[in-house]
A and B are shown apart, each in its own frame.
Chain A
Amino acid sequence: MTWPSGSELVLLFLLAGWAAADTTAAFQIMVGQPLVMGWLSGCVVGLPGLGLFMGAALQLLWSRLAPVGVSAYPDVGPATVAGVTVASTIASQTAWAFSVAEPFPPGEATLACLAGFLVALASGRWGQTLTEMLRRDNARLAYAADRAAAAGSFAGVERENWIGVARSFARGGVLWVGSLLAFSLLAWLAGALSPGPPAGSVPRLTNPGPILFWWFGIAALCSVLWRGGRRDAAFTIGGAAAGLLLGRIL
């Protein structure tokens, strides 16, 4: 296992915080979504191709989940950053890049991906619990805003809202750190800290795990978009035909 450097870890922590804040608290311009965060985290650890694949697969799988009203949803952004960080500790170097010709990770990157997905899924679920706890506790901000309002203080109300942004940012950071600590502990318990095989000695494999994950993601995307009827079928078949054509051209 090769951990990212200190400066990379700081950047990843900041990315996790940014992702958590973007989910609801600040801007919501979707930079906190797995596709974006996967790629950004991959760039930080020097594996943009792996990060992009993991981000795209997680984005597809979680495409049904949205931060609507009181709905509980996995904290997908920081979870993706945690997943890519863990994957980078296993496959610190891979020449593979996500593409039409070779969309699924080969060799060493396969196990890295699986470990990253596992951490991301578990971390997302833990993030859901953290989000609910934070939202329950945010009632205190509302009470403080009430007091500021009674005093006629616009600045007081604004301050409580900024505290809300900071708390969301901190939530992402805590989730990321907690996920890495949990993974390190499990890896240590499993004896995964022992040196692995020398780089390049692992043959190219066709582990079905990442492929299945990808296809379940496509199924999840279809499930959110599909309402049934002729027009839906026509668009889907049209897209599929365009995909076949595109595959031949590329």
Chain B
Amino acid sequence: MRNLIAFLRKYSFFFLFLGVEVLAFYLIFKNNHFQGSSFLNSTNALTGGIYTKYANIADYVHLKEVNDALSDENRRLRENQLQSYDRIFGENIMVDDTLYKKKYLYTKARVINNSTHRQNNYLTLSIGQNNGIENGMGVIGPNGVVGVVKNVSPNYASVLSVLHRESKISVKLKKSQYFGSMQWDGENYRMIGLKDIPNHVDLTEGDTVVTSGYSSIFPKGLHTAVIKTFEVPEGENFYKIKMQLLNDFRQLTYVYVLKNITSTEVQELEAGREEGDD
């Protein structure tokens, strides 16, 4: 017994070290959950406030790039407006606008903190619960998918970036409609991997990849990336594809948070289906 006490005393510092490490790792795992919400993150009032102040100053440096990106986006939107189209057969076709139903609401948000250099990257936005932001909403930039809201406080929101190793987005090839999932490998912040495309599909460099719309977080057909390189590893049935993201994550300043108005309906339906299978 005395030996045991002597042993514990001799290595007390080591045991303290182990104890504190266990606490630290508990924090790591507890906060790794996709939906795990906690007070200690970049969306609380203190850290969010400091980031906002900093962003207020730093934004001036990027004004030129931001203006370029916004005016480019405006140009694209104008191109797609009805005024830019001409009716093909004169007055013979009637376009009945009311057949369309609105599915997504957009909220504009400013990025006040952003990282691209870590293995798992997050963004912090300057809007939160008070602006109607909820967990699980999609976030898009001027050129496609940015991420999914992971954590919200009254005034700030934390976003799980596409540049996160656990983040998977359902996408499809615009040309052939084959779908796969987009996942980052943690190497280069401009490049992203595409999985689950079978090897009989015709691919060419520069093919556009768009969102599939299956997850209902993002609208269908959002241009997100272009294929850069592809190969079939020996003995496998699926391509190994590298794509370039259209968004430059280093330059993200303004993004849009999407609210899917019909998502509860879809979720209820799918939940009911799973119960029915039992």
A complexed with B: no
Question: Chain A: residues with CB nearer than 8 A to chain B?
Answer: none
